[in-house]
């Protein structure tokens, strides 16, 4: 799967006692902004991914020891994450009504350190713009194997106001719907240990859903 940017971190976690063995083994906090042009057409999804504090700490220390120091290491990391996730649509699924939307190439991206955490920021363009007026858009962002949990940035159980934003001048309602996996899926994830790889598709059942309806 497309997660080699994090695989080396797993080697560090195996050396540390007391870590929970059930999936997931790390998490990503995301913020999403729908990029809408003046005509009210969706052009892309601007995403910010923040790796969890433990993985960020290990990774920042490792990158800082590399050639060129931390800044150069973050530049390399950004390119690696982009290359690894591109074949998997950056773990993103988007539907407009019943239509699943396709994506173009990611050319705008960066990796940086913010608040002691590694953040990967990128623009995921659509293959072509789509009108949002009087239509409902739904998206999910998830690691198919549920190795990494992906959630919108929140304070407690409440997503932050900027966890989902809509650009442009449209009048849109927005909602982040929590995941509601059935008990069988929860048990399936709990039985996986750190050396197991889940069957692709498990992560979808634990994914939040962003819902945007524009008038």
Quick check: is 143 in a domain? Answer: yes
Quick check: is 11 in a domain? Answer: no
Quick check: is 10 in a domain? Answer: no
Please tell me the predicted confidence (pLDDT) of residue 66.
87
Name residues whose C-beta falls within 8 Å of residue 160's C-beta, 6 or more positions apart in sequence: 31, 152, 153, 154
Quick check: is 183 in a domain? Answer: yes
pLDDT digits (tens, 9 = 90+) for 6-29: 444 443 333 333 334 445 678 899
pLDDT digits (tens, 9 = 90+) for 114-145: 999 999 999 999 999 999 988 899 999 998 87
Dist CA 122 CA 111 (whole Å):
9
Quick check: is 48 in a domain? Answer: yes
Q: What is the count of structural domains for the chain?
A: 1
Quick check: is 139 in a domain? Answer: yes
Please tell me the predicted confidence (pLDDT) of residue 143.
86
Dist CA 68 CA 81 (whole Å):
19
Quick check: is 142 in a domain? Answer: yes
pTM: 0.84
pLDDT digits (tens, 9 = 90+) for 143-173: 887 778 899 999 988 999 999 999 988 899 9
Two tokens, residue 74: 């973050």
Domain of residue 57 covers 25-214
Quick check: is 19 in a domain? Answer: no
pLDDT digits (tens, 9 = 90+) for 173-195: 999 999 876 666 656 656 555 55
pLDDT digits (tens, 9 = 90+) for 57-115: 888 988 898 899 999 999 999 998 999 899 999 999 999 999 999 999 999 999 999 99
């Amino acid at each position: 799967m497309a997660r080699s940017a994090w695989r080396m971190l797993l080697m560090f976690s195996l050396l540390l006692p007391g870590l929970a063995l059930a999936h997931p083994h790390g998490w990503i906090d995301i913020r999403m902004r729908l990029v809408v042009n003046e005509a009210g057409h969706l052009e892309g999804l601007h995403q910010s991914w923040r790796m969890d504090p433990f993985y960020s700490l290990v990774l920042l220390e490792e990158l800082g020891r590399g050639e060129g120091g931390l800044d150069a290491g973050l530049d390399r990391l950004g390119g690696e994450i982009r290359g690894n996730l591109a074949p998997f649509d950056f773990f993103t699924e988007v539907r407009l009504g019943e239509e699943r939307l396709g994506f173009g190439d990611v050319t705008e991206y960066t990796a940086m350190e913010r608040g002691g955490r590694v953040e990967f920021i990128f623009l995921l363009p659509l293959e072509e713009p789509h009108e949002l007026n009087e239509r409902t858009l739904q998206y999910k962002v998830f690691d198919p194997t549920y190795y990494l949990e992906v959630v919108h940035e929140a304070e407690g159980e409440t997503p932050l106001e900027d966890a989902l934003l809509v650009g442009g001048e449209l009048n849109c309602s927005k909602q982040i719907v929590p995941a509601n996996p059935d008990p069988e899926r929860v048990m399936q994830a709990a039985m996986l240990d750190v050396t197991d790889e889940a069957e692709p598709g498990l992560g979808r059942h634990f994914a939040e859903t962003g819902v945007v309806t524009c008038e």
